[in-house]
Amino acid sequence: MKRKNNHMETLRLRNIPVLKQLTILLIVLILLLGKGIIDRQQTNGESNSYETNQYSHRVELLEEFELPQSSLEAETAIVWDISSQRVLFSKSPDNVMPLASITKLMTLLLTYELGEYTERVAGFKLEELADLTITSSSNQGASELANAIGSKLTETNASKPAFVAAMNLRAKELGLFNMKFHNPTGLDESETLSGGYGSAREVAFLMEYILETDPSILGKSKLTSYKVTNDEGLIYEVTNTNQYVNEITGLIGSKTGYTTLAGGNLVVAIDVGMNHPVVIVVLGSSPEGRFLDTIRLVSEITNQYDVNM
């Protein structure tokens, strides 16, 4: 993944000291994480419409394509071309929706920024548990990571609340102002409250940031399955919750999500050729429909790209 010099810089934090108060934590995170972040919101407070082409010198521009919105089961969707910084397709992309396990993208981003790759969490290296969590969408894995990283942020027993507070702060630092997290897993808190909220556009921007700063977060999410061994010698077979990984052309990484409130969600990043990443997000579909919606959008994109080659 070729990184853009003037877009976003890598913000890898290590060895964060234990803080006495969460208030101090938030101040420190603002100071440490605030540099190099793109404020994607318009300064007048209106909904985000960040579709300007910041890289107009690039020649690999895909033509916008038309797709009847009714043909998608998803309530909201977006196709975001990272290279040209353009929306290629959208359907109500700024509607705030329950995110379900797409929430775990923020959980893993913070884990990699605030943790050490080799530290042990629940019998695994942090990196191994993070890989397991994104691939199998493990709620236990996300909770263990949140507790481990959260314990670095507070001297109290409220490690998970401290971590969730940091998730919400990080969203604001990234300019994702409609994102709101109530837990690190995305599980519904109640019949009316989701574990995380955000828009399709914001999910696309979060995925872009991960690709720009640490694409290794997504590495294992393009595998159908793999095995990992914990500290006790137990072998775990990790199966991808994205059962269509082999049918998505040029897949770089993906994250699924499903709860009663959210319905079926999916975000994928694909390479349409010559290191040209595109992000596709569908929210509010069905468990099966999220995959069919995404595959259709992938097909449209790759066909358009092939025509322009």
CB atoms within 10 A of CB 75: 15
Query: CB–CB of 60/274 below 8 Å?
Result: yes
For residue 79, what pLDDT is reported?
A: 96
Q: pLDDT, tens digit, for every residue of 184-238?
A: 999 999 999 999 999 999 999 999 999 999 999 999 999 999 999 999 999 999 9
Which among 108, 88, 98 is positioned nearest to 207, based on CA atoms? 108
**Cα separation of 110 and 190, whole Å?**
25
Query: CB–CB of 204/279 below 8 Å?
Result: yes
Which CATH architecture fits 69-308?
3-Layer(aba) Sandwich (3.40)
Domain ranges of the chain: 69-308
Q: pLDDT, tens digit, for every residue of 13-64?
A: 333 333 334 544 554 454 445 433 434 443 333 333 333 333 333 334 455 6
Strands 251-259 and 277-285: unpaired
Q: What is the dihedral of CA 185, 188, 189, 190, to 10 degrees?
A: -170
CB atoms within 10 A of CB 180: 17
Q: How is the beta sheet containing 180-181 ordered, strand by strand?
A: 97-98, 196-198, 180-181
